Chain A
């Protein structure tokens, strides 16, 4: 199975900051990498698919990059509504696997 490791596991940042979350795969996954946001008590929501494609309706402050085994999700200007947990997920091979999550708290 492909292991997905996110860093950091949690972070606290003020509104307006630039935030970067990293995701590393245990083997190459080409561009088969997606990012999800989950708010407490809610279902996850896709933000970015195929490394860098922004899902319709998602604010442009979210962006993704990377290739191979190393990927990043960037929030360019953190907003209060971005308080959530973020997960990366690979769809390169079954079983599809998720990172353990990065909890973003607003300072």
Chain B
């Protein structure tokens, strides 16, 4: 079955750290750019980070630059998000998603996981 399964969410104090994982199955993980997208409770969607197929390029939204690190392990078919210096405003469901490129130009989020909830609170 083609799927993405996130794990690692939980309750963490402000200033703390948390590491999220996303396990891929049913498709050639090493051939896809991957992303993290988050959704604060009751709010809309926010793109967080992208990583190239080989991990050689990474991009972040400004609000997490210097605090979050996206990485991947193709042998383990896994995507990761290391989150440091967490703030209350990082509270959200974090989704991993695969990216598909169309026509060599445009991208869209193709396959999504079910998400994992991160709560930053004292």
Interface check B27, CB cutoff 8 A: no
Stretch at the interface among A10-18, A19-27, A45-53, A70-78: A45-53
Contact A44 B44 (CB under 8 A): no
Interface check B1, CB cutoff 8 A: no
A positions within 8 Å CB-CB of B:
31-32, 34, 36, 38, 42-46, 49-50, 53, 87, 89, 91-92, 94-101
Contact A44 B112 (CB under 8 A): yes
Q: Closest CB of chain B to A88's CB: distance in Å?
A: 10
Q: How far is the CA of A31 from the CA of B37 in the complex (A)?
A: 22
Query: Which A residue sits closest to B6, measured CB to CB?
Result: A43
Q: Closest CB of chain B to A62's CB: distance in Å?
A: 14
Interface check B114, CB cutoff 8 A: yes
Contact B45 A89 (CB under 8 A): yes
Report A-chain residues with C-beta under 8 Å of the C-beta of B102.
49-50, 53
Contact A34 B109 (CB under 8 A): yes
Contact A101 B114 (CB under 8 A): no
Contact A101 to B59, CB < 8 A, known contacts A32-B106, A43-B114, A50-B106: no
Interface check B46, CB cutoff 8 A: yes
Residues of B56-79 whose CB lies within 8 A of A: 59, 61-62
Contact B61 A44 (CB under 8 A): no
Report A-chain residues with C-beta under 8 Å of the C-beta of B107.
32, 91, 96
Report B-chain residues with C-beta under 8 Å of the C-beta of A38.
45
Contact B44 A95 (CB under 8 A): no
Q: How far is the CA of A89 from the CA of B47 in the complex (A)?
A: 10
Query: Which A residue sits closest to B63, measured CB to CB?
Result: A95
Q: How far is the CA of A44 from the CA of B47 in the complex (A)?
A: 13
Q: How far is the CA of A101 from the CA of B45 in the complex (A)?
A: 9
Query: Which B residue sits closest to A90, measured CB to CB?
Result: B106
Q: How far is the CA of A89 from the CA of B45 in the complex (A)?
A: 9
Report A-chain residues with C-beta under 8 Å of the C-beta of B115.
43
